[in-house]
Copies of this chain bind each other. A is one copy, B any other.
Amino acid sequence: MNQTFKKLEEEYLQKGQALSMALVVLEWDQATEAPKEANENTSKMIGVLSDLYFHAYINDEVKDMMKEIKQEQDTLDEREASIFRELELLYEELETIPPKEYAEYAELTALSTNIWQKAKEEKDFSKFAHTLERLINYKKKFANYRKKEDGKTSYDILLGDFEPGFDEKKFDDFFAVIKKELVPFIQEINEKAKNVEKSFNFKSFDVEKQKEFCHFIAEYIGFDFNKGVIKESAHPFTTNLHNKDVRITNHFYENNLESAIFSVIHEAGHAIYEMQVADELTLTLAGTGTSMGVHESQSRLYENIIGRSEAFWKPIYPKLVESFKEQLKDVSLKQFVQAINKPECGLIRTEADELTYSLHILIRYEIEKLLFEEKIKVSDIPSVWKEKYENYLGVTPTDAAKGELQDIHWAGGDFGYFPSYALGSAIGAQIYYYMKEKMPFDAYLAEGNLKPIQEFLKENIHKFGKTKKTNQILFDMTGEEFNPMYYVKYLKEKYRMLYEG
């Protein structure tokens, strides 16, 4: 136990944690609960709180203590060392930003989600364009403040915030594999699966019954309602105050049975990660998921690898049929599993199947690169979006809500986030193959016994919070760093089995 660190943690870092928690709960509240007209006043106060958050970490006292601790760094225990490293990263990220700009930016992001939501409702990109431009300009400016190493691009820096250790080069390599291996494979499978029937999942489904089933399935996979809450919002998301208060949202469409079910499994995957972070780490800088990619590996492992497998549905499909007898009574388990995996080139990322999903990400990755390299302007987004969807997926957006306004991420200033979805899918596959070696994975699913899987993820990933980074987690667990070939292998095996058998 380092005494200076102890003082730092009790007298300073706690304040940052408390302010961060307040901001989390306000953001959650704005998305799920606050009345329409509240936004302007509340955003102003969120700006003030963000400024306080900033200064809780970035101030001369903390800086002096950090210098002191740095000199006696070898006396830090493991927990302290991890928190200290996160503090250094935070300094690297925040210290260069003038506080006034940081507060302005925070106030802007508090308003921008509402502006995006309205623009989306009105299917009018121009109503969001100016806000988006401001967000991008702030992000560019902030990234430029931080550029130290030669050759680092602004976008490299943003990518690294979500996925420490990964940059444009690494993502370019990753997406090159995806393109090379999967684009031809998608065409092959699309052809084979084209006659698979799935219209039964798009009949009319009572929303209250959907909610009940989603509640059931969240609990079934391990979401603990004593430590969590599920509500509704425009776009499903997960957030957490700490490891005993983790919250997810869902959305419901009457004519789509798949959307809510796979959204809730996805978000519950994120939530289980946060719920299983060790008690001694929660409410510290090292107390949440280690990176977006690893987070997405968990959500997409649950959503796709587990949640779209036949073994998973074997024990619970009868319950689903029971809930929606009229619509599903003539649909066999096999037909249902073929339906929920059917590859289709669509417009909406969150509704995409596992195979085409990475192309949706690729498009966003390429557009973000173009924006940050200043090769296109914000006003070009709609036409570039259209062109890329036509080229990669052969579909044309019918309106902005089904096109460039579909995702909440940019409205929150989250540029560089999307690639981690694809990375997460690939990490998930790598973990999956390792788990299959270590336990009777499919047999557990078929028995309805998901606890050993949850426990394994806790012991190998979740409990560490940010104390281990992506490649370290993979290496310590599997003996190998990130390798995208497992993802290719997984998709090829799975889809061949599904539609060639």
Contacts and interface: CB of A to CB of B under 8 A. Distances in A.
A40 interface: yes
A41 B241 contact: yes
Contacts of A202: none
A42 B241 contact: yes
Nearest to A242: B41
Contacts of A17: 45, 48
A244 B49 contact: no
A227 B37 contact: yes
A434 interface: no
A81 interface: no
Contacts of A26: 22, 25
Interface string A442-482: 00000000000000000000000000000000000000000
Given A226-B37, A244-B40, A45 B21 contact: yes
Interface string A148-182: 00000000000000000000000000000000000
Interface stretch (A27-35, A312-320, A420-428): A27-35
Interface string A317-361: 000000000000000000000000000000000000000000000
Contacts of A229: 33-35
Tell me what chain A mostly uses at the interface: helix, strand, loop, or mixed. Answer: helix
A245 B42 contact: yes
Interface in A229-283: 229, 241-245, 282-283
Contact of A244 (B33, B41, B228, B244): B41
A42 B19 contact: no
State the oligomeric state as a number of copies: 2
A169 to B, nearest CB: 40
A36 interface: yes
A274 to B, nearest CB: 12
A18 interface: yes
Contact of A48 (B15, B225, B226): B15
B35 A226 contact: yes
Contact of A38 (B29, B46, B245): B245
A35 B46 CA distance: 24
Nearest to A241: B42
A14 interface: yes
A198 interface: no
A38 B244 contact: yes
Given A17-B48, A48-B15, A244 B37 contact: yes
A26 B245 CA distance: 12
Contacts of A42: 21, 241-242, 245
Contacts of A19: 22, 49, 52
A215 interface: no
Contacts of A245: 34-35, 37-38, 41-42
A14 to B, nearest CB: 5
Nearest to A279: B41
Contacts of A40: 244
Given A38-B244, A52-B52, 6 more contacts: A18-B45, A35-B228, A35-B245, A41-B243, A41-B245, A45-B242
6 contacts: A15-B52, A19-B22, A25-B25, A38-B241, A38-B242, A42-B241
